[in-house]
C-alpha cells in the first residue's frame, strides 16, 4: 500500500483548501469564486470538495503547466458533451493562463476526429459565446472609463 | 466562499488517508488493497488520490448508508459502460455491504431503461463472472479446509 | 429458451398498462401523467411503451424497494448526462418514495467519482431547481389556503 | 392518458413472447437463441424481457422495414461504444435481413462524422471479425459437405 | 499503405468543396447554408472542413442511399445525446430525402433499446419541434400566398 | 458561404494524402503504417480517409504544436472511454512528439475530475502497457545489438 502521508506535515504547509482557492483564482479570476458560491448555496460540502480536489489536489500539481492542463480540460469537456457551462468556464480559464483564441479553436476542431462533429460544433458555439462576453465586458469597461 | 476548514483540526483526527483505507477495507476487503497496489505501481500519486478522494472523502460521509452507496455506484458503472473491471469490483463490494445477488441483478435490469440493453447485458456478464469467482473461491476454501 | 409466459394468465391479473400507471402514480403523482400525455401528443405508441415497459415491467418488480430504485435511477441519470429533464423528474420521484434532500445530494456528490465533476455539478443545478419548485408550490398552496 | 390496451385482446392474438421469439429468429437465426439462453442462465427475467421488449414490442412494429432497423441499430451501437459484442451480433443480423457488407461498412464510415474515428475503427474491427467468422463457418460447412 | 490518390485527377473533376455544397443542398436545402455560415463566422476553417469532410467525402459516397444515411445519422444523434440541435437539423434532412414522420418516430422509439428512454424522449421532443416548425412555415407561406 | 478553395492550387502543392502520411510518420513512426494497413485490409476507403482527414487536414494545421495536440488527444480518448487501443497508440505518439511519461500520467490523473476515476484507471492501465512494451522493445534491441 502507499505510504500514509503526514497530515500534520501538510497542516504546517498550505492547506488543501487554501491551495485550491489560490489555483482557482489563478485560472478563473473572474468567475471561479462565483461558481463556488453558487455550488455552496445548494451543497457547501460539494463546494468545499470542488475547491479541494480538482484545484487543491490536481491543478496544483507541479508536473504539468497550466496552459497544457487547460488544453486537456477543454478537450475533455468537448468530448464529454452536455457540459457547455463548464466548457465556457474553462475556455475563459484557457485564455487566462495563456492560450489564445486560435489555439482554443484548434483544440475544438481537432475534437472532430475523436468526439465527432456535433460535439465540436456545440463547443464552437460555447467558445463563441465566451469570446462575445469578453468583448462585451471590455466595451462596458471602456464605456465606464470614458465616463 | 466556503469557510476554510481547519487542516490542523483534521490532523488531530483520523487522516484522509487512514479514513480512506478504512473505508476501502470495509467495502472491498478482498480486492481493495490489491487494486490500490496495482495503481501505485504505475502512479503512486494516483493511488494515494484514489484512497483519499473516493474513499476518504466521499464513501466515508455519514449521510448515506453503504448499501445505498453501492446501489448508486453499480447503477453509475453500468450506465457509464466500458468500466467492466470497476463494475466487477463494486458488484463484489455490494455483496460485502449487504446487497444480495438478486438485488444487484434488479439494479442491472433497471438500467435497461436508462442506459439501454447493451450496457445492461454487458453488466450482467460482469456480475455473473463475479458470482462464479466467489463460488470458485468458496469451493477452493472448502477443499483446503477438508485437506 | 425461457418458458413462454402465459398471456392469458396475465390478462386475468392486472394488465401491464394498469400496473404501469399504478407505479407511475406511486412514484410521480404530480408529474407522471403530464409527462406521459406530452409524449402521447407526439407518439401514442411511445407513451404506451413508456408506461408499460419501465413502469409496468421494471419498477413494479418486487425484488428491490422503490427508495433503492430511485437511488439507482438518479445515479444513472447523473452519469448519463444531457438528461436533466428526466433527472428533475426522478429527483422529485425520489422525494416521493422516501429519500430526503440530503440523501439525493449525497448520491450526486458520489457521482463526482464515477461520472466526473461536470456531470455532478449539472445534476446539482437540476436538483436545486426541483427543490425551489417544490418550495414555490408549497408557498402557493399556503397562500391559497390563507385566502 | 393513453387508452388502456386490451390484454385480453392481445392474448387472443400472438403473445409478446411468441412474437419476440419469431422476430429474434428472423433477424438472428444463428445466434439469437444462444444469446437469450446465455442471459437466462444468469437472469431468466432479463432474458424474458430481452425477448419481449426489444423484439416482441419494437422490432415487430410494422412502420419500418428490418433492413432500415438494422441500419439504425448498427449506427447506434457504433456510436454507443463499448458494445462490440452486441455490434457483432447486429452486423450479422444486418446481413441476415438484406444489408450487404459494403453497406454495413458505409454506415460505419459515416459514423466517423458523428461518433468520431475511434468508435468507427473499433466497429470496423468488430465487422471484420464477423465477416471472417462467416467465412470460416462457410469453409467448415463446405468441408463437411465434401466428406 | 493505400495508394496515393491523384489530386490532379480530382481537380479535373468536381472539387471536394463543390461536391460537399451540392450534398449539403440536397439534404438540407433550407438550413444547410445558414448552419455553415454560422460556423464560418467563428471558424472559417471548421466551416470549410464541415462542408468537405462530412458532406464532400462521406455523404457523397455512392454505396448507400441518402434515406438510409439519414436513418443512420438520426440513430447516432439520438444515441449520442446532447446533440439536439444537430438532431433537429437531420430530422428535417430525413424528411427532405424521403423519410416520413412515422419512420423517424420509429427510429427514435427503437433507440429506447440501445440508448435508453431518456435519450429517446429528448429526441422525441426535438422531432416534435421540427414538425411544428415545418407546419408553422407552411402556414406562414399559405398566409403570404393568400395576401 | 465559405470561399471555394482552389483544388488546382492544392494539387500544385503537397496532396492531402501525402501530407497525411507525412504527419502520421512524424507522430506514429512505429505503428502508424501498420494501423493504416490493418484498416485498409477491411476498408481501403476508410484507411484513405483516416490518413487524409485526421492527419492530412487536422494534425497538419499550423496553429497548435504537436505536443499540445497529443495532450488534447490523450485527454479526449481517456474521456471517451472504450478506446484503449487508440489511447495506447496516442500515448506512444505523445512520447514521440516530446511528452514525457510523467506528463502523460498527469493528463490521465487530471481526467479523474472530468471523466471520473474508472476512465482514468483504465487509461492508466493502457499507459502502463505502452511503457512496458517500449521497455521490452528496448531490451530486445539491446539483446540484438549485443549478439
D112: left (phi over 0), alpha (psi -120 to 50) or beta: alpha
The per-residue pLDDT for B133 is: 97
- Kindly determine whether residue C1 and residue D37, on different chains, have CB atoms separated by under 8 Å: yes
The per-residue pLDDT for D10 is: 52
Q: Answer for the pair B21, B51: CB distance below 8 angstroms, yes or no.
A: yes
Smallest Cβ–Cβ distance between F50 and the set D108, D117, D125 belongs to D117
- Kindly determine whether residue B105 and residue D39, on different chains, have CB atoms separated by under 8 Å: no
E78, closest residue in chain C (CA to CA): C82
State how far residue E82 is from chain A, nearest Cα, in angstroms.
5
Average confidence score pLDDT of chain B: 92
The per-residue pLDDT for F66 is: 98
Whether F137 shows a pLDDT value over 90: the answer reads yes
Q: Answer for the pair D57, C53: CB distance below 8 angstroms, yes or no.
A: yes
Mutate: best of C110, C116, C117, C118, partner F, most F CBs <10 A: C116
Backbone angles phi, psi at F139, to 5 degrees: -65, -40
State how far residue E130 is from chain B, nearest Cα, in angstroms.
25
The per-residue pLDDT for D15 is: 93
Q: By a Cβ cutoff of 8 Å, what residues of chain F touch chain C?
A: 112-118
State how far residue A38 is from chain D, nearest Cα, in angstroms.
33
Cβ neighbors of C69 (< 8 A, separation 6 or more) are B106, B110, C59, C97
Count how many pairs of residues, chain B against chain C, have C-beta atoms within 8 Å: 97
Helix (H, G, I), strand (E, B) or coil at B139: helix
The per-residue pLDDT for D14 is: 85
Helix axes B101-115, C66-80, angle to 10 degrees: 40
The Cα A147–Cα E140 span in angstroms is 47
Whether E40 shows a pLDDT value over 90: the answer reads yes
Interface confidence, given as ipTM, is 0.91
* Residue whose C-alpha cell is 481547519: B6
Can you list the alpha helix ranges (DSSP code H) found in chain E? 7-12, 16-27, 32-42, 44-50, 66-80, 84-96, 101-115, 117-146
Closest among F78, E51, E107 to A117, alpha carbons compared: E51
CB contacts of D117 in chain F (<8 Å) are: 50, 54, 86
Rg value, chain C, Cα = 17
Q: Each residue of E60-86: pLDDT tens digit?
A: 999 999 999 999 999 999 999 999 999
Please give the share of chain F, as a percent, with pLDDT higher than 90.
86
Q: CA A37 → CA A16, A96, A133, B3, C121, distances in Å?
A: 18, 20, 21, 11, 12
Please give the share of chain C, as a percent, with pLDDT higher than 70.
91
Backbone angles phi, psi at E14, to 5 degrees: -70, 135
Q: Each residue of F72-93: pLDDT tens digit?
A: 999 999 999 999 999 999 999 9
The Cα E87–Cα E89 span in angstroms is 5
Contact partners of A by the rule of 3+ C-beta pairs under 8 A? Answer: B, C, D, E, F
Please give the share of chain F, as a percent, with pLDDT higher than 70.
91
The separation between CA D98 and the C-alpha centre of its own chain, rounded to angstroms, equals: 13
User: If pLDDT is split at 50, 70 and 90, which confidence band does C14 have?
Assistant: confident
The per-residue pLDDT for E10 is: 52
Q: What is the mean pLDDT of residues C36-48?
A: 96
- Kindly determine whether residue C115 and residue F116, on different chains, have CB atoms separated by under 8 Å: yes
- Kindly determine whether residue A115 and residue D116, on different chains, have CB atoms separated by under 8 Å: yes
State how far residue F60 is from chain D, nearest Cα, in angstroms.
17
- Kindly determine whether residue F105 and residue B43, on different chains, have CB atoms separated by under 8 Å: yes
Average confidence score pLDDT of chain A: 92
The per-residue pLDDT for C3 is: 47
C50, closest residue in chain D (CA to CA): D2
CB contacts of D118 in chain A (<8 Å) are: 114
Q: What is the mean pLDDT of residues F17-24?
A: 96
The Cα B123–Cα B136 span in angstroms is 20
The per-residue pLDDT for D86 is: 97
- Kindly determine whether residue D112 and residue A116, on different chains, have CB atoms separated by under 8 Å: yes
User: If pLDDT is split at 50, 70 and 90, which confidence band does F6 have?
Assistant: very low
Whether F144 shows a pLDDT value over 70: the answer reads yes
What are chain A's domains? 14-63 (no CATH), 65-147 (1.20.1290.10)
Q: Each residue of F100-130: pLDDT tens digit?
A: 999 999 999 999 999 999 999 999 999 999 9
Q: By a Cβ cutoff of 8 Å, what residues of chain A touch chain F?
A: 53-54, 58-59, 61, 63-64, 68-69, 71-80, 83, 86, 102-103, 105-107, 109-115
What is the value of pTM for the model shown? Answer: 0.93
The per-residue pLDDT for C31 is: 85
Smallest Cβ–Cβ distance between D72 and the set E59, E86, E110 belongs to E110
The per-residue pLDDT for B52 is: 96
Q: Can you read off the three cell numbers belonging to residue F53? A: 482527414
**Most confident listed range (A70-79, F26-35, F136-145):** A70-79
The Cα A78–Cα A58 span in angstroms is 20
Cβ neighbors of F137 (< 8 A, separation 6 or more) are none
The per-residue pLDDT for E98 is: 97
Q: Answer for the pair B116, E115: CB distance below 8 angstroms, yes or no.
A: yes
Mutate: best of C34, C83, C93, partner E, most E CBs <10 A: C83
- Kindly determine whether residue C58 and residue B113, on different chains, have CB atoms separated by under 8 Å: yes
Q: Answer for the pair D134, D92: CB distance below 8 angstroms, yes or no.
A: yes
CB contacts of E114 in chain B (<8 Å) are: 116-118
The per-residue pLDDT for E2 is: 45
The per-residue pLDDT for D146 is: 84
CB contacts of A117 in chain D (<8 Å) are: 113-114
The Cα F23–Cα F65 span in angstroms is 12
CB contacts of A85 in chain C (<8 Å) are: 118, 121-122
Mutate: best of C3, C5, C6, C7, partner D, most D CBs <10 A: C7
Whether B59 shows a pLDDT value over 60: the answer reads yes
Amino acid at each position: 500500500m502507499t505510504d500514509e502521508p503526514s497530515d500534520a506535515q501538510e497542516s504546517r504547509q498550505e492547506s488543501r483548501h487554501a491551495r485550491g482557492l489560490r489555483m482557482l483564482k489563478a485560472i478563473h479570476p473572474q468567475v471561479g469564486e462565483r461558481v463556488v458560491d453558487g455550488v455552496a448555496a445548494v451543497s457547501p460540502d460539494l463546494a468545499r470538495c470542488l475547491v479541494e480536489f480538482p484545484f487543491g489536489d490536481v491543478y496544483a500539481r507541479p508536473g504539468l503547466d497550466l496552459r497544457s492542463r487547460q488544453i486537456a480540460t477543454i478537450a475533455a469537456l468537448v468530448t464529454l458533451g452536455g457540459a457547455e457551462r463548464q466548457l465556457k468556464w474553462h475556455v475563459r480559464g484557457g485564455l487566462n493562463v495563456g492560450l489564445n483564441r486560435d489555439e482554443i479553436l484548434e483544440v475544438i476542431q481537432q475534437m472532430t476526429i475523436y468526439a465527432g462533429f456535433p460535439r465540436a460544433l456545440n463547443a464552437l458555439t460555447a467558445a463563441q459565446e465566451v469570446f462575445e462576453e469578453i468583448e462585451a465586458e471590455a466595451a462596458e469597461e471602456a464605456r465606464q472609463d470614458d465616463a
